[in-house]
Amino acid sequence: MNMKTFIASLMMALSMLTISNTAMADEQITLGRTILLGSGDHGAKIPLLICRKTDAIRVKAERDLNLEKIKVTFNNGQTKTIHFYRDLKKNKYTDWRKFAYPRCVKKLEVFGNSDGSKAGVKVLGRKK
């Protein structure tokens, strides 16, 4: 193998490694799951065992539900309430709701009502 072939192969391998890392940059992670029961004034809490860093969240409905809001608690104790006020059908997603910058999420509290007796909710984060 001559030097030109070796350098060309090396460049190709490096470019493939670089491309695969950037493709995974906007990876979607599950922050937590919970079940919403009927109607109520209390939110369904999702405590996270470890702090998960994310720059945005979105919600997936595992059954039909009416999603009101999510209260996000960050690692430093600050909270942010994100209002959705929408009906979600089974296996549908909300749009991404961004934070100003990547933040470390410690706890989530989901407020809403299920159309039946209970509805599952999955909260997703975006890893950057």
pLDDT digits (tens, 9 = 90+) for 113-125: 887 778 889 999 9
At 13 the pLDDT is 66
The whole-angstrom separation of Cα 44 and Cα 66 is: 13
pLDDT in tens, 68-107: 999 999 999 999 999 999 999 999 999 999 999 999 999 9
At 31 the pLDDT is 93
The whole-angstrom separation of Cα 71 and Cα 60 is: 16
Q: Is the pLDDT of residue 8 over 50?
A: yes
Reported as type and span, the H/E element at residue 109 is: strand 97-114
Instruction: Say if CB 80 and CB 72 are below 8 A apart.
Output: yes
Residue 66 has phi, psi (to 5 degrees) of: -115, 110
pLDDT in tens, 35-58: 887 666 678 899 888 999 999 999
